[in-house]
């Protein structure tokens, strides 16, 4: 068995949960079968002995005269083409995010390679991406639909994601398989190095509530910032938030943080850098509470990271987070009143902000409850979210897809 993973993100170019997923899945799969990764970037690593082969695809846009907001779309197509001009000898092509979907379509049609696609998020449920891509958003919606509906198997990272797939696409239920995201339990565990995080302006002598994520509509970061004025006075807030989707949301974030600092008596620390894993683990481990205010989240791998570091979570009750965070056991789930159609925005943003603050304040005031929930969170990730188990489930699916493809070929020949 040889698997070819096509992806935008791969180390060192990782900025979101999908990139983390591919990084660890490739590592674990390579211990079970031959794995090649083709990604966006200049990476080039020879695999073997239980490690994946990595081939990066560069991006020359020196001749582009298209509008700037379409460059990422055309760049994805350019690199997906390069993925295919290098010969493909894999038994399975496995796609991650819309950026790689055109590459998978080409591989299936030109090489006849069976196609597996993991859904990390769905374009129809992210209409705010139009702010970033303009008309390119309509193209990504079409591209995702085409790839999902022609895939031999689709992996959903949560039960609710499977329901979303069946609702929005013409895919038989039996083709959609639920395989969760995972966590490296050795890498993510409580580690305390106060000096490391103090260098970013965090007061290590004062408890803090932490956010880690990109500045995007999906992650709900502005709603958390708007909740700061409702927090208990003197509460320290640490926002590890960078990589804004657009200049507009970057400006909105800056304005919201300025207002929050004016209205709140405690420190509001904003770390805009993308942090290395060791620093991030120390940041999680030092927190009193982790908050994930996403308005759309198929899974929410950052919650696993916090729980693995024994930190209780306050999260919005949406998507796969309802399958990760156990309310009143590993943290608190905050209802998000949603509109019946996209975009997914709170009907009452101020009420949502107040509810987030209520959950945070409750945990910040109760160290014993935080400790109990933190231990329960660690126990849960150890029992349910091991990458070793996830890689085995993925390999089993590959084998089933290959067997079905071979049976189809024999039937056609007869």
Domains of the chain: 2-182+386-413 (3.40.50.2000), 194-384 (3.40.50.2000)
DSSP calls for 341-352: SSS--BSSHHHH
**Cis? peptide before 183, omega within 30° of 0:** no
Identify the CA nearest to 321 among candidates 340, 304, 339, 346: 304
Q: What is the mean predicted confidence (pLDDT) over 236-256?
A: 93
Helix (H, G, I), strand (E, B) or coil at 208: strand
- Per-residue pLDDT, 340: 40
Question: What's the CA gap between 236 and 364, in Å, rounded?
Answer: 10
Helix (H, G, I), strand (E, B) or coil at 176: strand
> Which residues contact residue 337 at a Cβ distance below 8 angstroms, ignoring those fewer than 6 apart?
346, 347, 348, 351, 352
> Tokens 């205010």 identify what position?
293
Its pTM stands at 0.83
CA distances from 191 to 1, 21, 284, 305, 307 (A): 38, 22, 9, 12, 13
> Which residues contact residue 332 at a Cβ distance below 8 angstroms, ignoring those fewer than 6 apart?
312, 313, 314, 315, 325, 359, 362, 363
Identify the CA nearest to 321 among candidates 338, 309, 333: 333
Q: Please check the confidence at residue 346 and state whether its pLDDT lies above 80.
A: no
- Per-residue pLDDT, 151: 98
Helix (H, G, I), strand (E, B) or coil at 189: coil
Question: Which of 71-85, 88-102, 188-202, 340-354 shows the lowest per-residue confidence on average (mean pLDDT)?
Answer: 340-354
Question: What's the CA gap between 203 and 223, in Å, rounded?
Answer: 23
Question: What's the CA gap between 324 and 313, in Å, rounded?
Answer: 10
> Which residues contact residue 407 at a Cβ distance below 8 angstroms, ignoring those fewer than 6 apart?
none
Q: Please check the confidence at residue 341 and state whether its pLDDT lies above 50.
A: no
Query: What pLDDT, in 10s, does the model give residues 353-380?
Result: 999 999 999 999 999 999 999 999 999 9
Contact, 40 vs 127, CB < 8 A? no
Query: What pLDDT, in 10s, does the model give residues 306-322?
Result: 999 999 999 999 989 99
Query: What pLDDT, in 10s, does the model give residues 165-200?
Result: 999 999 999 999 999 999 999 999 999 999 999 999
């Amino acid at each position: 068995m040889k698997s070819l993973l096509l992806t935008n993100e791969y180390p060192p170019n990782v900025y979101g949960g999908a990139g983390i997923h591919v990084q660890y899945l490739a590592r674990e799969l390579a211990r079970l079968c031959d794995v090649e990764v083709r990604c966006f970037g200049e990476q080039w690593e020879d695999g073997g002995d239980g490690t994946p082969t990595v081939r990066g695809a560069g991006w020359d846009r020196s001749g582009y005269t298209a509008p700037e907001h379409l460059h990422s779309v055309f760049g994805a197509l350019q690199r997906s083409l390069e993925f295919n001009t290098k010969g493909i000898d894999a038994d399975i092509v496995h796609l991650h995010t819309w950026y790689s979907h055109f590459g998978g379509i080409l591989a299936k049609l030109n090489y006849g390679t069976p196609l597996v696609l993991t859904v990390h998020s769905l374009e129809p449920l992210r209409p705010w991406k139009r702010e970033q891509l303009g008309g390119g958003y309509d193209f990504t919606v079409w591209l995702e639909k085409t790839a999902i509906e022609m895939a031999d198997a689709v992996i959903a990272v949560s039960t609710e994601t499977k329901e979303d797939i069946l609702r929005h696409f013409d895919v038989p239920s039996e083709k959609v398989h639920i395989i969760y995201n995972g966590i490296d339990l050795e890498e993510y565990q409580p580690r305390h190095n106060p000096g490391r995080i103090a260098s970013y302006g965090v007061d290590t002598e004062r408890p803090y509530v932490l956010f880690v994520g990109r500045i995007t509509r999906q992650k709900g970061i502005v709603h958390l910032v708007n909740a700061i004025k409702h927090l208990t006075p003197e509460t320290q807030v640490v926002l590890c938030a960078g990589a804004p989707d657009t200049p507009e949301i970057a400006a909105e974030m800056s304005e919201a943080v300025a207002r929050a600092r004016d209205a709140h008596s405690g420190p509001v620390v904003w770390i805009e850098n993308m942090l290395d894993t060791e620093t991030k683990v120390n940041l999680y481990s030092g927190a009193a509470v982790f908050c994930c205010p996403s308005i759309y989240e198929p899974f929410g791998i950052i919650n696993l990271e916090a729980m693995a570091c024994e930190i209780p979570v306050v999260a919005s009750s949406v998507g796969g987070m309802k399958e990760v965070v156990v309310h009143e056991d590993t943290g608190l789930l905050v209802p998000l009143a949603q509109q019946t159609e996209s975009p997914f925005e709170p009907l009452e943003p101020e009420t949502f902000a107040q509810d987030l603050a209520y959950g945070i304040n409750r945990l910040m005031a109760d160290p014993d409850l935080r400790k109990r929930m933190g231990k329960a969170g660690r126990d849960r990730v150890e029992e349910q979210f091991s990458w070793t188990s996830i890689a085995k489930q993925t390999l089993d699916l590959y084998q089933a897809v290959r067997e079905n493809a071979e049976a189809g070929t024999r039937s056609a020949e007869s």
